[in-house]
Amino acid sequence: MLNASLRQLSLLLSEKKISSTELTSEFLSRIKALNPDLNAFITIDEEKSLDQASAADQMIAAGRSTPLTGIPIAQKDIFCARGWLTTCGSKMLSNFVSPYDATVIERFDQAGMVNLGKTNMDEFAMGSSNETSYYGPVKNPWDRLAVPGGSSGGSACAVAARLAPVATGSDTGGSIRQPAALCGISGIKPTYGLVSRYGMIAFASSLDQGGPMAKSAEDLALLLNTMVGFDEHDSTSLQRAKENYAQDLEKPVNGLRIGLPKEFFAEGMSSDVSSAIEAALAEYRKLGATFVEVSLPNSKLAVPVYYVLAPAEASSNLSRFDGARYGYRTAQYSSLEDLYTKTRAEGFGEEVKRRILIGTYVLSHGYYDAYYLQAQKLRRLIAEDFRKAFEQCDLIMGPTTPTVAFNIGEKCDDPIQMYLSDIYTSTASLAGLPGMSIPAGFGSKNRPVGLHIIGNYFQEAQMLNVAHCYQQVTNWHELTPPENL
């Protein structure tokens, strides 16, 4: 049951071989047993979850079910959920109970899915290792000395450790794809604007995008069918015809042109990751795909560009957390300015403060043109590089991360090295392109390696098809972490 796909679980529920209440209870029991060590969940509310499961059983009995009805899902704690503690991994929101649902939560509720709880994350989604959370670091279930990646590390850990069949995540510079790679699961960041950001607590508004995390590409497709859609509450939401992302999963990939950016296969990638990626590409060659060398000459600038633009937007978005309206408030203050200063000093963690300071600096008078404006120009050049590359190929592939998961605490004192974890993923984010990571073997210390797939705008269905075909001839996505670590 724990390793079943969404289709298998849906069939078992529709045929009444198992009830949603029984399925939810099984996962809640597993969370209770393993979460104290893994720390994947921040908030669990068994009563709420079982009430939703009971309602799902009634939907199934009445013949009103969808393919996802009754299936449990873990929600990243960046999505507001009515009546649930929604902390964004921060002390600043440690007492915030959301009065409304994010659109993503609402759509899964309407489909009849069951919320298992809210997963741990880097504070305000700022981090690459899930070590900046106010609630402590998440452990990688493949090796509990290692980080799970961030910022969606709690969701990735929950799916990998089979604490949940599927989960939601958010991706600003790689925060779905990077933890998916480090935990050996599948995750996709859709084209910017396809998934509503309404009710998803903002980090960098021009980059943030919600997406699903699951064991397989097929499961991702079924989740995207529910997540994607226009939302009038979100000014960046795109209005497009509805797609069925699961209908072409079995389409052969013979003749597919895969672009290999020479910049992705240069120095910086560890040998163990390189070996796993080469083996994955060899499988695609067997499936009939062809390879084309492409160039993304400005990709080397993606990390510095990202760490100018994202903090700039964060410094604006996080100004709302001032202790005056909701969330944490300092206990003693002498004036309104003192309230703001002490609340933010006490409520935000070190990484969040660092990014607010960087963002405020690059937006300040005298530095705006030199940093922020230049970064915006370079962002345009990065997108143009992709446009030219897609004239030669259908999809782009490479490693998701330059190394396998590093140890907890290993990079905490070196923010630059931490930021370089996003070197391959941040390019697609800056261009607004869809990207996904799928399991592609193991590297050093038996830690997972992820294959990164980048598509052109709105090519999620093709990406999922290509990933699914790979998963039909490999079993990396079916392997589970040893539980005795």
> Looking at the domain assignment, is residue 211 inside a domain?
yes
Which residue out of 175, 186, 299, 421 is catalytically annotated? Answer: 175
Compute the distance between CA of residue 13 and CA of residue 7 in angstroms, rounded to an integer: 10
Cα dist from 102 to 78, 184, 418, whole Å? 9, 28, 30
Phi/psi at 440 (nearest 5 deg)?
-140, 35
Range list of β-strands (E), 85-220: 114-119, 166-171, 186-189, 209-214
- Has 175 been annotated as catalytic? yes
What are the helix (H) ranges across 390-446?
A: 415-419, 426-431
> Looking at the domain assignment, is residue 280 inside a domain?
no
Cis preceding-peptide flag for 151 (omega within 30 of 0): yes
Exposure string over 46-62, b if 16+ CB within 10 A, otherwise e: eebbbebbebbbebbee
> Looking at the domain assignment, is residue 230 inside a domain?
yes
Compute the distance between CA of residue 309 and CA of residue 435 in angstroms, rounded to an integer: 20
Is residue 439 within 8 Å of 476, Cβ to Cβ?
Answer: yes
The pLDDT of residue 413: 86
> Looking at the domain assignment, is residue 127 inside a domain?
yes
> Looking at the domain assignment, is residue 457 inside a domain?
no
Is residue 412 within 8 Å of 131, Cβ to Cβ?
Answer: yes
The residues, ordered by sequence, that sit 6+ positions from 214 with a Cβ below 8 Å of its Cβ are: 6, 159, 165, 166, 167, 185, 186, 187, 220, 223
Compute the distance between CA of residue 158 and CA of residue 366 in angstroms, rounded to an integer: 45
Which residue out of 151, 315, 426, 429 is catalytically annotated? Answer: 151
Residue with tokens 């999620």: 460
The CATH number covering residue 198 comes to 3.90.1300.10
Phi-psi region of 248 (alpha: psi -120 to 50; beta: other; left: phi over 0): alpha
Number of structural domains the chain divides into: 1
Compute the distance between CA of residue 26 and CA of residue 46 in angstroms, rounded to an integer: 11
Tokens of 192: 């910017």
- pTM value? 0.96
Residues in the chain with pLDDT < 70?
Answer: 484-485
Is residue 258 within 8 Å of 292, Cβ to Cβ?
Answer: yes
Of 45, 404, 305, nearest to 53 (Cα)? 45
**What count of other Cβ atoms lies within 10 Å of the Cβ of residue 136?**
12
Cα dist from 347 to 81, 123, 350, whole Å? 22, 11, 10
Query: Can you tell me whether residue 468 is helix, strand or coil?
Result: helix
- Has 20 been annotated as catalytic? no
> Looking at the domain assignment, is residue 105 inside a domain?
yes
Query: Can you tell me whether residue 180 is helix, strand or coil?
Result: helix
Beta strands 186-189 and 435-442, pairing class = antiparallel
Single-letter residue type at 467: A
Which residue out of 5, 49, 65, 76 is catalytically annotated? Answer: 76
Phi/psi at 468 (nearest 5 deg)?
-60, -45
What's the whole-number average pLDDT of the chain?
A: 96
> Looking at the domain assignment, is residue 126 inside a domain?
yes
In terms of residue numbers, what domain contains 66?
6-253
Tokens of 195: 């998934």
pLDDT tens digits for 288-320? 999 999 999 999 999 999 999 999 999 999 999
The pLDDT of residue 485: 46
Determine which helix (DSSP H) or strand (DSSP E) holds 42, and give its type and residue range.
Answer: strand 41-43
The pLDDT of residue 424: 96
> Looking at the domain assignment, is residue 117 inside a domain?
yes
Q: Which residues pair with 210 in a beta bridge?
A: 170
The pLDDT of residue 484: 53
The residues, ordered by sequence, that sit 6+ positions from 404 with a Cβ below 8 Å of its Cβ are: 146, 182, 270, 272, 273, 442, 443, 444, 445, 447, 448, 449
- Has 76 been annotated as catalytic? yes
